[in-house]
Amino acid sequence: MKKLYLILVSALLVSACGGADVLAPWREGYLDIHQISTGRGNATFMILPDGTTMMVDMGDLGDTSHFRQEVMPAVPSSAKSPAQWVARYVRHFSEPLHNDGKIDYMLITHYDSDHIGAPGTKGVSELDTLLHIEKIVDRGYDYPTAEQALSMNRWTLPDYLTTMKSRAGRGLGYEKFVVGSDSQFTLIHQPRKDFKIRNIYANGHLWTGDGLRDVVIGEGDEYTENLKAMNENRLSCTINISYGDFDYHSGGDIQGSSANSTRPWRNVEKFVGELIGETDVVLANHHAYSDAMYGPFVKAVHPQVCIIPAWDFYHPQPSTLHNMLSGGIDEAHPAVRDSVSYVFSAGLVASNRERLASDGQLLMPDGHIVVRVYEGGGRFQVFVLDDRSEDYRIIYESPVIRSRN
């Protein structure tokens, strides 16, 4: 396997240096997944095989001067807001669709500022004024209760709800995320049997394959205490995309816990990992912070590629990166590339790569990360695009990778 790794790296370097300067346009049959680097939060843009478009989240941290930890600079620059940069990015890569950047579906995983925007900076609210977003799907506003949902998100939710009220007045679509559904996000233009988006988890409820399971464990007083302790991250909407043999996981900020945790509901990602199994490309849970991407999850999903949506100094943490590089075997296992072929980061605080030492050197170059899945889903590639300019020049290109499932 190590020999294979060296061969793949050699091929990658040749490809990166000798290939095209820019990404070839999307064409019918491709699934393109863009993890956009803004330095200010999560934003994923997808063009599905028939040209249906989808966004997941539009974060904007707002003023970062009060942050105690170092954060990335806004990229490409602070001359525009994150939503403005993302709108320009979406329009650029949507040119083959001739739709002026229209978004058919937008999924909001949860209500933290790095996923929907801080007050006054707008995030989702601003993007809604820049692009036509046909339908927004979120986790709803009544779990665990309406009062607690607002209490947990008193800083971010009011602006977002104002936007949703405005959208309703304009006749634009809204739906609450339906756990277990595979019909909420469908191909609009040309349905095909080999493509599916499955809603896996949200609001403490996990799809089991034939029904729902409440992973907020307990009854009576214990149940009440568990509800009080639930945080917004653990309620994140989670999806899996399947295209032929290819699988992709996006779980927002779901978290894990140590194996000896006395509260199983803290380990949401463990339940999710056991359900979805081997997955080709995994968007790292909770930005690969220290409370996510634990060994059991990484081992269960056994990804070929991990992508970290980074913006602060702690994305990723050393132990978490090591889990991804070692395949989740155990914390003491040497970091080798036998289990996870590639770990990418959509943005990175430069000093964090230094802090991560030898493991940090195994991270691929950072920038916008694009996963391109070819017709039928049997093969895919990963491209890193320059996030410091709007040329979107390719700075790294993987060899073609065979999907596993």
Q: What is the pLDDT of residues 293-330, one digit of tens each?
A: 999 999 999 999 999 999 999 999 999 999 999 886 55
From 3.60.15.10, 3.40.50.2000, 3.30.70.870, 3.60.10.10, which CATH number describes the 2-6+31-368 domain? 3.60.15.10
Task: Report d(CA 156, CA 179) in Å as an integer.
Answer: 24
pLDDT for the residue 219:
59
pLDDT for the residue 11:
44
Match 């463990």 to its residue by tokens: 270
Provide the percentage of residues in the chain whose pLDDT is more than 70: 87
Phi, psi of 136 (to 5 degrees): -115, 135
Quickly state the pLDDT bin for 222 (edges 50, 70, 90): low
Cβ-contact 27, 96 below 8 angstroms: yes
Cβ-proximal residues to 104 (8 Å cutoff; 6+ apart), any chain: 52, 53, 54, 134, 135, 188
Task: Report d(CA 270, CA 370) in Å as an integer.
Answer: 26
Half-sphere exposure of residue 252, counting CA atoms within 13 Å on the CB side?
33
Helix (H, G, I), strand (E, B) or coil at 124: helix
Residue 141 has pLDDT above 80, yes or no: yes
DSSP 156: T
Nearest to 231 by CA among 302, 169, 291: 291
DSSP 40: S
Q: Give residue-wise pLDDT tens across range 103-132.
A: 999 999 999 999 999 998 789 999 999 999
pTM for the full model? Answer: 0.92
Task: Report d(CA 73, CA 166) in Å as an integer.
Answer: 32
Pair of tokens at residue 355: 């802090």
Q: Give residue-wise pLDDT tens across range 6-21.
A: 334 434 443 444 457 9
Pair of tokens at residue 8: 């793949």
The helix or strand, by DSSP H or E, that contains position 293, with its residue range, turns out to be none
pLDDT for the residue 1:
43
Scored b (16 or more CB within 10 A) or e, 336-355 reads: ebebbbbbbbbbbbeebeee
Q: Give residue-wise pLDDT tens across range 24-38.
A: 999 999 999 999 999
